[in-house]
Amino acid sequence: MKTVAVYPGSFDPPTYGHLDIIGRGSHVFSKVIVAVAFNIRKQTMFTPEERVGMLRTLTGPMGNVEVDAFDGLLADYAVAKGANVVLRGLRAVSDFEFEFQMAHVNRKLAPKLDTVIMMTGEKHIYISSSIVKEVARLRGKIDDMVPELVRDRVVAKIREQE
Ligand code: COA
């Protein structure tokens, strides 16, 4: 059976933690669709197009990964794309409550859509997109958190904003 997974997030910016989940997901599922959410409540550093562009470059070498952007309900988007799984990464117990709620809401909205949670690799459990931006703004090194391409874009964005 073909299992298509949607991996949603704001990816502002994408980090090694996200890439860890995408890479491992690509070995488990027939296809992984990385779905960049726009019109989210968060104020973002990068436009949806910029986030999609970075993710396309980073996941290019993984043959079965597609990058797309979506608006509205994740469940509707996943069904429209023919996906049967929502892929999510869990970093710590603090993530659990939100994931638990989200999985139930999505299954209520689309009963054939199941959520699969992968444990984020231990090297990456402390990373979040906000931490990357904060450390970079304060001139700290972010090389262990994001690939070079993302580091350079974050640093350039901060320079532009200052
Ligand atoms: N490694 C490192 N960091 C990770 C990570 C991982 N594996 N997984 C998540 N994170 C970080 C993210 O970078 C993000 O950091 P930030 O808060 O500093 O930006 C944080 O953890 C939270 O990530 P996530 O839970 O994926 O939230 P998000 O804002 O990136 O995405 C959506 C949330 C878009 C998936 C969710 O709001 C959604 O589905 N929206 C659509 C509307 C909808 O259907 N709502 C009803 C369903 S609940």
CATH no. for residue 113?
Answer: 3.40.50.620
Which 8-state DSSP code applies to residue 122?
G
- Inter-residue contact 70 to 34 (CB < 8 Å): no
Tokens of 7: 């991996």
Q: Whose CA is nearest to atom 25 of ligand 1?
A: 9
Give the pLDDT band (50/70/90) at residue 93: confident
H helix or E strand, kind and range, residue 116: strand 114-119
Is 142 within the bounds of a domain? no
Q: Does residue 133 fall inside a structural domain?
A: no
Q: Is the pLDDT of residue 94 over 90?
A: no
- Whether residue 160 lies inside any domain: the answer is no
Residue 134 pLDDT exceeds 90: yes
Q: How far apart are CA 73 and CA 63, in angstroms?
A: 27
Query: 10 Å Cβ neighbour count for 4?
Result: 17
Distance 156 CA to ligand 1 centre (A): 24
In this prediction, residues 7-26 reach a mean pLDDT of: 97
What tens digit of pLDDT does each residue of 32-49 get? 999 999 877 889 999 999
Domain for residue 9, yes or no? yes
Domain range for 29 is 4-124
Active site residue 91: yes
Residue 38 lies in a domain: yes
Cis peptide before 13 (omega within 30 of 0): yes
How many domains are there within the chain? 1
* Ligand 1 touching residue 8 (CB < 6 A): yes
In angstroms, how far is CA 30 from the centroid of its own chain? 18
Residue-level pLDDT at 99: 95
Give 116's pLDDT tier (boundaries 50, 70, 90).
very high
What was the pLDDT predicted at 27?
A: 97
Does residue 19 contact residue 62 with C-beta atoms inside 8 Å?
Answer: no
Residue 114 resides in a domain: yes
pLDDT mean across residues, the chain: 95
Look up the pTM and report it. Answer: 0.96
